[in-house]
Amino acid sequence: MRTTRTASRLAACVAAIALAAGCSSSGGKDSEDDSDDGGKGQVSGPRLKIAMVTHAGEGDTFWDIVKNGAERASAKDNVQFLYSNDKEAKGQAQLVQSAIDKKVDGIVVTLAKPDAMKAVLAKAADAGIPVVTINSGGQYSEQFGALGHIGQDEAVAGEAVGEELNDRGRKKALCVIHEQGNVSLEERCAGVKKTFDGTVTNLNINGTNMPESQSTLQAKLDADGKLDAVVTLGAPFAEAAAQAKKDSGSKAEIDTFDLNAEVVKQLKAKEIGFAVDQQPYLQGYLAIDELWLHHTNANVIGGGKPVLTGPAIVTEKDVPRLEKLTAKGTR
């Protein structure tokens, strides 16, 4: 695994934060002696209620990994974890309001469509409920009153992809946006364009309909034989792109953002050139830990600045270790 030039110096910091969060709540003999569960790792103290509300989730392996991280931290931190999601911005805002009405002790939220979340997060602040943002819309986190943001800088991630495509000698790339209006996806493609020496064309597809998405991709590959790279912005779409490539007879390399077990299989089979890992498990885990630490010890991870969990470029060389971790649902 290779961390990017921009993010490499932050990798050690993120690792240290994760270690510190774990040690402060469950590490060492003292914490074992003080725990409520006979030294099994769960902390003592009041049971907190924390809600996570995301813009996606059902049937999405990425969000399964985020939830796994959050659930593991919740079990350790004696937290009642409430998860909900809605792909529609209005619905997501309503779910946040529902969490406020339940008088939760903290809220974890994504900002894929930030304009729809601004008013309801102001209500959370008025209610004295701390908020941590994850995954998307990090540039809006501070102005919306959140303690901090945990995720990757999407522009930096896109720039890393552009640099990787240059290193691989690619000349013409397709950047596939599967959800229109999602600021993070737009930032990824903009980042690719910024550093890629070749040309980049954005293609919008209907991410809720995979057969239609595959058909749209195949049509684009059929129409442009000079395309030598297809960059998908989510792991599930890499498989559709690979099949579209096969059906069209294209020689374009398929690359993708995000990682799951299927992407690891595709890397192993050399159906994908590389993937960009933003460590979703860490996003869920650290978000719960930050709210617990803030409630119990007035801590703010990263001093309020964004805590980066990626990007890192992974290739077939990383497959042996990743196979074991994706099987556990943690990568």
Does the pLDDT of residue 147 top 70, yes or no? yes
Please report whether residue 117 resides in a domain. yes
State residue 41's pLDDT score.
57
Domain count along the chain: 2
Same domain, 7 and 142: yes
User: In the chain, what percentage of residues exceed pLDDT 70?
Assistant: 86
Same domain, 188 and 291: no
Same domain, 87 and 147: yes
Please report whether residue 317 resides in a domain. no
State residue 61's pLDDT score.
87
**Mean pLDDT value of segment 88-95:** 96
Please report whether residue 169 resides in a domain. yes
Does the pLDDT of residue 50 top 70, yes or no? yes
Same domain, 55 and 99: yes
Same domain, 34 and 76: yes
Same domain, 111 and 19: yes
**Mean pLDDT value of segment 60-72:** 93
Please report whether residue 316 resides in a domain. no
More confident residue, 171 or 327: 171
Does the pLDDT of residue 258 top 50, yes or no? yes
- Residue 189's domain comprises 154-277
Same domain, 207 and 117: no
Does the pLDDT of residue 296 top 70, yes or no? yes
Cβ neighbours of residue 289 closer than 8 Å, sequence gap 6 or more: 21, 22, 25, 73, 77, 301
Does the pLDDT of residue 190 top 90, yes or no? yes
Same domain, 123 and 193: no
Instruction: Please write down the HEC assignment for all residues of the chain.
Output: CEECCCCHHHHHHHHHHHHHHHHHHHCHHHHHHHCCCCCCCCCCCCCEEEEEEECCCCCCHHHHHHHHHHHHHHHHHCEEEEEEECCCHHHHHHHHHHHHHCCCCEEEECCCCHHHCHHHHHHHHHCCCCEEEECCCHHHCCCCCCCEEEECCHHHHHHHHHHHHHHCCCCEEEEEECCCCCHHHHHHHHHHHHHCCCEEEEEECCCCCHHHHHHHHHHHHHHCCCCCEEEECCHHHHHHHHHHHHHHCCCCEEEEECCCHHHHHHHHCCCCCCEEECCHHHHHHHHHHHHHHHHHHCCCHHHHCCEECCCEEECHHHHHHHHHHHHCCCC
More confident residue, 291 or 33: 291
How high does pLDDT run on average in the chain? 88
State residue 35's pLDDT score.
39
**Mean pLDDT value of segment 104-113:** 96
Q: In this structure, what token pair is assigned to residue 174?
A: 């397709």
Determine contact, residues 220/252, Cβ cutoff 8 Å. no
* pLDDT confidence band for 46 (50 / 70 / 90): confident
Same domain, 141 and 173: no
State residue 141's pLDDT score.
96
Q: What's this model's pTM, rounded to 2 decimal places?
A: 0.82
Same domain, 100 and 206: no
Q: What is the CATH number of the domain that holds 171?
A: 3.40.50.2300
